[in-house]
Amino acid sequence: MTKIEIDEFLKLSEKHPVIDVRSPVEFEKGHIPNAINIPLFTNSEREQIGKKYKESGNEKATLLGLEMVGPKLTVYINKLKKVTKQKKVLLHCWRGGKRSESMAWLFSQVGYEILVLDGGYKRFRNFVLSSFCRKAKIIVLGGMTGSRKSEILRKIEEKGHQILDLELLANHKGSAFGSIGKEEQPTVEYFENLLFEKWQKFDFSKPIWFEDESATIGKARIPNELYKQMRNSPVLKISVPIEKRIDKLIEEYADFDKKIILSSILKIEKRLGGLNTKRAIEALEKNDFYTLVNLVLNYYDKAYNFGLSQRNTDTMFSLKLIDEKIEKNVEIVLDFAKEKMYL
Whether the Cβ atoms of residue 259 and residue 165 lie closer than 8 Å to each other: no
Average pLDDT over residues 301-315: 86
For 263-300, write each residue's pLDDT tens digit: 999 999 998 999 999 999 999 999 999 999 999 999 99
Phi and psi at residue 254, to the nearest 5°: -65, -25
CA–CA gap between residue 31 and residue 45 (Å, rounded): 20
Query: Taking Cα atoms as reference points, which of 188, 200, 194 lies closest to residue 224?
Result: 188
- Judge contact between 20 and 92, C-beta under 8 A: yes
pLDDT one-digit tens code per residue, 45-62: 999 999 988 999 989 998
Q: What is the pTM of this model?
A: 0.92
Question: Is domain 2-129 annotated with CATH 3.40.50.720?
Answer: no
Could you tell me which residues come within 8 angstroms of residue 237 by beta carbon, excluding any fewer than 6 positions away?
A: 142, 143, 212, 308, 316, 317, 318, 319
Average pLDDT for the chain: 94
Instruction: Tell me the domain boundaries of the chain.
Output: 2-129, 133-340
* 93 given a catalytic annotation: yes
DSSP 87: S
Structural contact between residues 209 and 161, judged by C-beta atoms closer than 8 angstroms = yes
DSSP 17-39: -EEE-S-HHHHHH---TT-EE--
Confidence band (pLDDT; 50, 70, 90) for 343?
Answer: low
Among 35, 36, 91, 93, the active-site one is 93
Across the chain, the runs of DSSP E, i.e. the strands, are 2-4, 18-20, 36-37, 88-92, 113-117, 138-143, 162-164, 208-211, 216-217, 220-221, 235-239, 316-320
Going by CATH, does the domain composed of 133-340 fall within 3.40.50.300? yes
